[in-house]
């Protein structure tokens, strides 16, 4: 078992209902007059709720060269002619009404330094600001209903205790007897201090109509300042030590039992009039830190907070004394905050301590802005980000107001001069954002269970009682003169005794009458009590029946809610099932479409296959017929060649025989002409019908032989084979370069050695590779290879075309790294190309064409190189795209394959074929 130190659980905050109504922060704008008439103005009031800000001449044009004008809307805009009274009626008076109704309020002024914040809050001689007018309205409303001093007493924990009249009297006497304790200003002092008397005007003081006369009130004020993020009490009176004066001690913030923030150890002074309250304020105002800067002669260097706390408690049932119950005491407060102005040190020329003060002021205002931004984001986006209240004492002190402890009002003070344009724009943006923050509406205090009008009835009873006593005294007989002049006077005392006895009798009669009346009244009260009890019993019965009905209604409501939840659950399930069904239907339709597409594709492939089979059968039949004709033609040509050879041999033998015979007879001249053997007749060939060969049609005889050079015979018009060959060789010498001219295209050359000089037409035609030392037959007749019966002249239509890469365009030659270099005989040579292994945008942007090399083994086992070509064009998004337009195939085949092609004549090399697919 491990013993680990647990953390202290955090105290849960007060639970707030989720359906609390909220109100936006009320933001008002006040424009101060210009210091001089010739100053440039950048703020213009358009309507009662809108202002327009235009940039000064130096900043008028934006990037587009246009004039920049911005409009901002507020709850209300107060112009330069607005009086302090008008501002108070719209802004501060509702907060004083809420203060009397036990609701908290926060009012603060915000703006650039020198924009009139302190004037708006405090005022000037003859023009009191919001603070003195709020105090005047408060005391004018609760003046007759104030409790005596020290009846309400602060408990130093942001709460309020209540004392009896006797304890309060003793407390007053104790305070008066201690001269060292600072005395609370006396309420008897009606004449205000001349220094601030002009700021308080009794004639303009207004009155609230929502004062509860059955309560007693007491007002406490406190005044603090936040300087360099430290809190100082401006009302604290420390003993003065002339030798070693002590600096003021800073205060700390604490949280009370209701989770409200307060300044611990802050002085709270009980005041009974406007003059007393403002005198306390003025005493603290003199201690506030102000300084002279380049922009303001009396610039506030701290944030000041003047708090007005109102304590109220109901009277007892008799309406005579305050109810001695601490739980019935209600405390509300109104905070009047004068924020220090934001400033730029480049304009104020602040140095040293002033620079530090400006930095802390700007930092606290920035924290306030950040808190507002996070609050707005949490409310608008539904997030739950932590608001950084603790980053500044100002925001930490007023955390409860933004979390829903009262109304929040802000007055944005604006200096319309052009020099403050940039700072004014920042203030306007902050004000515009603050208007979007919503604060929970304060809840009304619970109503006291005592009857209303208790104070009035108590006063009326006292007045009536005094009147009855007076009447009773007047109704009694007058007493005779009872002055004794002489000791022997026996008449005065008996007359006095008789008068007193008469009065006693009258009093006895009045007492009896009073008792009769009291008994009658008692019987009436008893009767009323009986009737009241009967009515209460009946009411109780009705209440029990009503409770039963309520239970039935609650059960039915619970059943209805259960059924509604069940209905919603079923609806949700139905929606899910419907969506699932729709998905399945969609999948079914897509699968059906895919099945139909595949069936169509299968039918199309089957029809293509049948067409291909028919085409292949036709091609096989045509090829078979062609080769049969070719074989027959070759056999006939071979037979004719053999016959010609045999005839030549016979002729030579006959000539040799003649020579031998002539030499044997003695060497004489032979006068007898021997008959030459006749060449085999071709009448059979002439008579046979000519069959069309499948080979290319022969080229016409462009070089007819001379008849005089051809030996004539009686049986045939054919020339001898030897003469034809000799004439052909003399007229057209064989060029080895011309034999290999048509072996390839200009752009696709063979990488084999130079072709050999000894060539064979049969080898070229059949694609055989001749062995070294083999003598090829060279007898030609009219361009015919007599051995094979074919023509060796170049064909009329060569089976090739010029490659598209021979143009002037620039190419991207894409050869992937995964493509193995098989070192085939024919390789494409593209002179104007950029070679890449991976296509990129830089290479594609510089070229117009694209080619991709791909090598693979064909279906017949031969190596095949494919050149996939396309055009490069720009896309709308600024990129590059390739559209494939052509596929060229370079194929290396065995030279023994029986196919028509343009072949290489180099001995010992393989055949290279170029096709344009």
Annotated binding-site residue? 118: yes
Interhelix angle 93-100/130-142, nearest 10 degrees: 40
Annotated binding-site residue? 111: yes
Q: Which residue pairs, CB below 8 angstroms and at least 24 apart, start in 150-156?
A: 150/175, 150/270, 151/216, 151/218, 151/322, 152/218, 152/220, 152/270, 152/311, 152/313, 152/329, 154/220, 154/268, 156/264, 156/265
Instruction: Give the span between the Cα atoms of 33 and 687, in whole angstroms.
Output: 131
With CA atoms as reference, report the closest residue to 427 among 32, 719, 852: 32
With CA atoms as reference, report the closest residue to 79 among 118, 49, 119, 37: 49
How many other C-beta atoms are found inside a 10 Å radius of the C-beta of residue 486? Answer: 8
Contacts for 269 with CB less than 8 Å, ≥ 6 apart:
184, 220, 221, 222, 235, 280
How far, in whole angstroms, is CA 716 from its chain's centroid? 104
Across the chain, how many H-helices and E-strands are there? 18, 32
Annotated binding-site residue? 114: yes
With CA atoms as reference, report the closest residue to 863 among 806, 917, 820: 820
Annotated binding-site residue? 112: yes
How many other C-beta atoms are found inside a 10 Å radius of the C-beta of residue 728? Answer: 19
Q: What proportions of the chain, in percent to the nearest 5, are helix, strand and coil?
A: 40, 20, 40
> CB–CB of 82/30 below 8 Å?
yes
> CB–CB of 726/706 below 8 Å?
no
> CB–CB of 227/248 below 8 Å?
no
3-class secondary-structure state, position 271: strand
Annotated binding-site residue? 113: yes
With CA atoms as reference, report the closest residue to 883 among 853, 855, 850, 916: 850
Query: Cα 912–913–917 angle (5° rounding)?
Result: 150
User: E strands of 700-789, at which residues?
Assistant: 780-781, 784-785
Contacts for 889 with CB less than 8 Å, ≥ 6 apart:
864, 865, 866, 867, 915, 917
- DSSP state, residue 186: P
Hey, what are 298's tokens? 């009396």
How far, in whole angstroms, is CA 224 from its chain's centroid? 42
> CB–CB of 277/143 below 8 Å?
no
> CB–CB of 905/743 below 8 Å?
yes
The b/e string for 864-873 (b: 16+ C-beta within 10 A; e otherwise) is bbebbbbebe
Annotated binding-site residue? 453: no
With CA atoms as reference, report the closest residue to 304 among 346, 263, 264: 263
Instruction: Give the span between the Cα atoms of 643 and 515, in whole angstroms.
Output: 181
Instruction: Give the span between the Cα atoms of 916 and 894, in whole angstroms.
Output: 19
Interhelix angle 421-434/353-381, nearest 10 degrees: 40
Binding residues: 111-118
Binding residue positions for ATP = 111-118
């Amino acid at each position: 078992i491990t013993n680990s130190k647990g953390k202290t659980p955090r105290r849960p905050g007060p639970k707030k209902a989720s359906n609390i109504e909220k109100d936006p922060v009320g933001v008002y704008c006040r424009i101060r007059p210009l210091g001089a008439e010739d100053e440039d103005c950048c703020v213009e009031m358009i309507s009662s709720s809108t202002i327009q800000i235009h940039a000064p001449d130096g900043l008028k044009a934006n990037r587009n060269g246009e004039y920049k004008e911005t409009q901002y809307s507020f709850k209300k805009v107060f112009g330069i002619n607005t009086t302090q009274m008008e501002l108070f009626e719209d802004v501060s008076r509702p907060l004083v009404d809420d203060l009397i109704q036990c609701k908290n309020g926060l009012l603060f002024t915000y703006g650039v330094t020198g924009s009139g914040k302190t004037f708006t809050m405090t005022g000037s001689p003859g023009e009191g600001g919001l603070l003195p007018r709020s105090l005047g309205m408060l005391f004018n409303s609760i003046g007759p209903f104030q409790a005596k001093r020290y009846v309400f007493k602060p408990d130093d924990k942001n709460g309020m205790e209540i004392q009896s009249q006797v304890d309060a009297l003793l407390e007053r006497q104790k305070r008066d007897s201690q001269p060292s304790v600072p005395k609370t200003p006396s309420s008897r002092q009606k004449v205000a201090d001349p220094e601030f008397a002009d700021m308080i005007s009794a004639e303009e003081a207004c009155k609230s109509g929502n004062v509860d006369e059955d309560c007693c009130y007491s007002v406490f004020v406190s005044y603090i300042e936040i300087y360099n993020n430290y809190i100082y009490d401006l009302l604290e009176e420390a003993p003065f030590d002339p030798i070693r004066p002590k600096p003021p001690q800073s205060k700390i913030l604490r949280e009370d039992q209701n989770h409200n923030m307060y300044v611990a150890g802050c002085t709270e002074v009980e005041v009974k009039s406007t003059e007393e309250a403002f005198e306390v304020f003025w005493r603290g105002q003199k201690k506030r830190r102000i300084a002279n800067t380049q922009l303001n002669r009396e610039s506030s260097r701290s944030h000041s907070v003047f708090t007005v706390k109102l304590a109220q408690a109901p009277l007892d049932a008799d309406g005579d004394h305050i109810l001695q119950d601490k739980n019935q005491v209600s405390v509300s407060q109104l905070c009047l905050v004068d924020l220090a102005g934001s400033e730029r040190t480049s304009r104020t020329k602040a140095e040293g301590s002033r620079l530090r003060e400006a930095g802390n002021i700007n930092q606290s205002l920035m924290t306030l802005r950040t808190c507002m931004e996070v609050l707005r984001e949490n409310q608008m986006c539904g997030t739950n980000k932590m608001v950084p209240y603790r980053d500044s004492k100002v925001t930490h002190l007023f955390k409860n107001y933004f979390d829903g402890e009262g109304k929040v009002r802000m007055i944005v003070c604006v200096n319309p001069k052009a020099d403050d344009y940039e700072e004014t724009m920042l203030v306007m943006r902050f004000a515009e954002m603050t208007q979007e923050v919503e604060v929970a509406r304060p809840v009304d205090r619970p109503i006291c269970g005592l009857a209303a009008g208790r104070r009035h009835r108590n006063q009326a009873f006292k007045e009536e009682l005094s009147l009855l006593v007076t009447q009773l005294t007047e109704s009694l007989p007058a007493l005779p003169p009872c002055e004794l002049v002489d000791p022997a006077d026996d008449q005065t005392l008996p007359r006095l005794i008789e008068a007193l006895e008469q009065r006693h009798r009258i009093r006895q009669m009045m007492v009896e009458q009073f008792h009769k009346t009291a008994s009658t009244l008692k019987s009436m009260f008893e009767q009323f009590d009986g009737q009241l009890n009967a009515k209460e019993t009946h009411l109780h019965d009705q209440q029990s029946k009503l409770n039963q009905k309520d239970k039935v209604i609650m059960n039915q409501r619970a059943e209805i809610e259960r059924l509604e939840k069940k209905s919603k659950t079923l609806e949700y399930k139905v929606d899910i099932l419907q969506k699932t069904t729709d998905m399945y239907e969609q999948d079914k339709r897509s699968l059906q479409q895919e099945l139909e597409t595949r069936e169509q594709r299968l039918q199309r492939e089957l029809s293509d296959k049948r067409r291909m089979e028919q085409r292949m059968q036709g091609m096989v039949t045509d090829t078979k017929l062609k080769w049969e004709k070719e074989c027959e033609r070759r056999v006939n040509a071979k037979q004719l060649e053999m016959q010609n050879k045999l005839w030549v041999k016979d002729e030579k033998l006959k000539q040799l025989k003649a020579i031998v015979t002539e030499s044997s007879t003695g060497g004489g001249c032979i006068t007898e002409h021997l008959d030459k053997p006749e060449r085999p007749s071709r009448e059979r060939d002439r008579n046979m019908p000519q069959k069309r060969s499948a080979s290319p049609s022969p080229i016409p005889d462009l070089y007819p032989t001379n008849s005089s050079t051809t030996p004539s015979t009686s049986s045939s018009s054919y020339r001898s084979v030897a003469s034809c060959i000799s004439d052909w060789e003399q007229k057209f010498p064989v060029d080895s370069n011309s034999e290999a001219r048509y072996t390839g295209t200009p752009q696709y050359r063979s990488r084999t050695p130079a072709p050999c000089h000894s060539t064979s037409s049969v080898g070229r035609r059949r694609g055989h590779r001749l062995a070294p030392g083999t003598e090829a037959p060279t007898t030609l007749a009219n361009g015919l290879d007599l051995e094979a019966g074919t023509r060796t002249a170049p064909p009329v239509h060569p089976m090739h075309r010029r490659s598209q890469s021979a143009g002037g365009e620039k190419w991207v030659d894409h050869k992937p790294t995964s493509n193995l270099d098989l070192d085939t005989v024919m390789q494409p040579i593209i002179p104007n190309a950029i070679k890449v292994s991976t296509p990129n945008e830089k290479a594609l942007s510089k070229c117009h064409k694209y080619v991709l090399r791909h090598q693979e083994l064909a279906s017949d086992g031969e190596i095949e190189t494919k050149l996939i070509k396309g055009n490069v064009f720009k896309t709308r998004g600024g990129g590059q795209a390739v559209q494939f337009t052509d596929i060229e195939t370079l194929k290396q085949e065995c030279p023994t394959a029986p196919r028509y092609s343009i072949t290489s004549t180099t001995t010992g090399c393989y055949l290279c074929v170029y096709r344009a697919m």
